[in-house]
């Protein structure tokens, strides 16, 4: 393998390792995702174990979690009964950001409804003060999801095509 290819793989593996750490996910999540992302064909569990030198237990737990997060998906390989995996192509963590926005909005609605009920002055003052923080994270979450809406339900290639079209237009 060319040294340049090695360097590219190394850089991308380190990136996903760091991103997993920052997202409070185990290091193995970043490693297994990278291995599948960097492979030119779908990988089975044995290949992942062999490539990363991790235990079967870690590999199987990590694969299951990555499937749950919809970061990778099973693919069928002709003439082989083993499970093979490729990246799903959709943007990781996007789902959880939309979910977060929904949870915060729901809590805000609930809090606003409670505030409509009759309450003494002291409770009212307390409620308003505590609501500040929630309204702020609601606002921030809304800003994030608004800027991400265009990426929902599209995959890497589609997003890349869109970005590329935009930058070509800008150059003209």
Piece of 49-57, 78-86, 113-121 that binds its own copies (CB under 8 A): 113-121
The SS3 assignment for 24 reads coil
Binding flag, residue 100, its own copies (CB under 8 A): yes
Cβ atoms of 66 and 52 within 8 Å: the answer is: no
Query: What angle is formed at CA 79 by the lines to CA 76 and CA 80, rounded to 5 degrees?
Result: 60
CB atoms within 10 A of CB 79: 4
Binding flag, residue 4, its own copies (CB under 8 A): yes
Residue carrying structure tokens 């174990």: 49
Point out which residues bind its own copies (CB under 8 A).
Answer: 2, 4-5, 7-8, 11-12, 14-15, 18-19, 22-25, 37-38, 40, 87, 91-92, 94, 96, 99-100, 103-104, 107, 110-111, 114, 117, 119-120, 123, 126-127, 130, 132-137, 139-140, 143-144, 146-148, 151, 156-157, 159-160, 163
């Amino acid at each position: 393998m060319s040294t340049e290819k090695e360097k590219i793989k190394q850089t991308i593996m380190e990136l996903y390792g760091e991103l997993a750490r920052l997202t409070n996910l185990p290091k193995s999540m970043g490693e297994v995702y990278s291995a599948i992302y960097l492979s030119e064909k779908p990988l089975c569990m044995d290949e992942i174990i062999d490539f990363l030198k991790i235990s079967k237990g870690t590999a199987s737990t990590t694969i299951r979690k990555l499937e749950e997060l919809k970061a990778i998906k099973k693919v069928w390989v002709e003439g082989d009964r083993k499970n093979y995996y490729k990246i799903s192509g959709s943007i990781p963590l996007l789902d959880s950001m939309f979910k977060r926005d929904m949870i915060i909005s729901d809590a805000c609605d609930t809090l606003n409804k409670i505030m409509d009920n009759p309450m003494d002055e002291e409770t009212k003052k307390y409620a308003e003060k505590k609501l500040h923080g929630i309204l702020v994270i609601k606002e921030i979450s809304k800003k994030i999801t608004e800027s991400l809406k265009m990426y929902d339900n599209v995959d890497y290639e589609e997003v890349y095509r869109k970005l590329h079209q935009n930058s070509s237009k800008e150059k003209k």
